[in-house]
Structure 1
Amino acid sequence: MVEFSSKVVLVTGAASGVGAGTAKTFAKHGTRLCLVDRDEENLAKTETECENVGAEKVLTIVADLTKYEDLKRVIQKTIEEFTELDVLLNIAGICFKAPMEIVSFKDFDAAYNINVRAPLFLTQLAIPYLEKTKGSIVNISSIASKKYTEASQMIYSMSKSSVDHFTKIAALELAKKGIRINAVNPAFMKTNLFQRWLKSDEEVEELVQERAKLVPLGRKNVKVHDVIDAIMFLASDRAKMITGTCLFVDGARHLTGM
């Protein structure tokens, strides 16, 4: 994608999983990258990998996206370094198991602060710069926003439903500024996000096999590269008439009763 050469792309959650993979994919197209995460060690690894595969320039920012001052600092440093912004990728997120009987204020706030509040206010802060470049935004949502998936994932599912509504309403508001905003809604992927709330490698593999049986298309789980492909498409000019869309990358699972 020659169109991404020298473009400025801001990626949250860039230290691992989909965020790191997406950053490295954009890097191969010669982009200028701003990588954001609170995991300084793994963020540095992503930075090195992006530089090695062709990024024009890489800026890393260690930040806590639950803090408004850090959100402001992310945008400020990005513009100071690159003077512009073309693509904002709100990928950072958290997932945890917490049945309603035991879910706490802390759990609720954690899910909404990272999954909803951070992308909303980072987008708000980025609007003046994205308007100048007629840029685009891609949020990471989930199949959980539409389909009941786990009895113990109420708060996570609620937060991702909020991401979908934010995406659609923001698309209407930002259209007049020439800014597009879309979301990608993956089914279960074997990433650090989900592995954190599983107790062992055996439990992870058991869940992988269990979920694979529920995917109508090919009976396989969604891979990270499937999601990255969707992000790249929605961020590109090939999607120039697409905004307010929640693109399900789930092998049609959200259409089934399973």
Structure 2
Amino acid sequence: MVTGYSSGIGKAICESLEKSDFEIIRLKSRLEDIKALEAELKEILKDKDISVLINCAGVGVFKPHEEISLSKIKELIDVNLTAPIILANLCLRSLKKTKGHIINIASIEATRHSKFSALYTATKSGLRDFSLALFEELRRSDVKVTNINPDLTKTNFFDTLNFQPSENKEAHILPEDIAKTVLDILAFDGVITDITIRPQRLEILKK
């Protein structure tokens, strides 16, 4: 099961998994609609168990905190943090049966403190800490949990922002790079609990 599958990192992960003979379950409910999400998951889990849950959907905003609308604050918390926590909750019984794997896509911002990123950092660092604590909880049940912290990735994530990665290939990573990392994580005999993926250079373009 993959969220955020329609574009960017999520799309690349789905394509990579399908080439490796995984069957992808694509949720139809909006992540902010908790009741619809719960109903859809219950219906899915009646017929099948899940071996991998990948929480990839994400929303970003980078501006002075007082300039962010309350609806946008709620959206970021709902999509970036609440939805992955709820999906893990709803899928865990199934994942315990399959001795499955939860992979959460956080952000480089979960590992540092940047100007104009207070809200986004709060959601992504919360997701990272949730992943690491959940791994400790699930070790005896053989469910693996991995958190991935991508740095600047060339996707449509930046379409609504006032900056973007430069075109220099050494200054951004590609969605396909993260998809390959996901396959490597799934194939690894142990557990990679936390991994940060970065380009060599830092070059940001202002729009």
Query: Considering the TM-score relative to the shorter chain, is it more than 0.5?
Result: yes
Three-state SS of the structure 2 residue aligned to 1:227 is helix
Three-state SS of the structure 1 residue aligned to 2:45 is helix
Separation of aligned partners in 1, 2:129 and 2:201: 20
Counterpart of 1:31 in structure 2: which amino acid?
F
Deviations 1:141-190 (A, max 9, x none): 000111234x2222011111101100111111111211011111101112
Separation of aligned partners in 2, 1:148 and 1:117: 21
Superposition deviation, residue 70 in structure 1: 2.4
Percent of pairs with identical residues: 24
Question: 1:250 is matched with which residue?
Answer: 198
Question: 2:165 is matched with which residue?
Answer: 208
Instruction: Using the TM superposition, name which of 219-228 and 66-75 deviates more.
Output: 66-75
Give the structure-1-normalised TM-score.
0.72
Structure 1, unpaired ranges of 5+: 1-9, 37-61, 199-203, 213-217
Larger-gyration structure (1/2): 1
Question: 1:117 is matched with which residue?
Answer: 82
After the TM superposition, which residues 1-258 of structure 1 pair with which residues of structure 2 at under 5 Å, given as runs? 10-36=1-27, 62-81=28-47, 83-149=48-114, 151-198=115-162, 207-209=164-166, 219-234=170-185, 236-238=186-188, 240-242=189-191, 245-251=193-199
Separation of aligned partners in 2, 1:89 and 1:116: 13
Separation of aligned partners in 1, 2:70 and 2:154: 28
Separation of aligned partners in 1, 2:50 and 2:104: 16
Give the structure-2-normalised TM-score.
0.89
Structure 1 runs (4+) greater than 4 angstroms displaced: none
Separation of aligned partners in 2, 1:157 and 1:70: 27
Superposition deviation, residue 74 in structure 1: 3.5
Three-state SS of the structure 2 residue aligned to 1:94 is coil
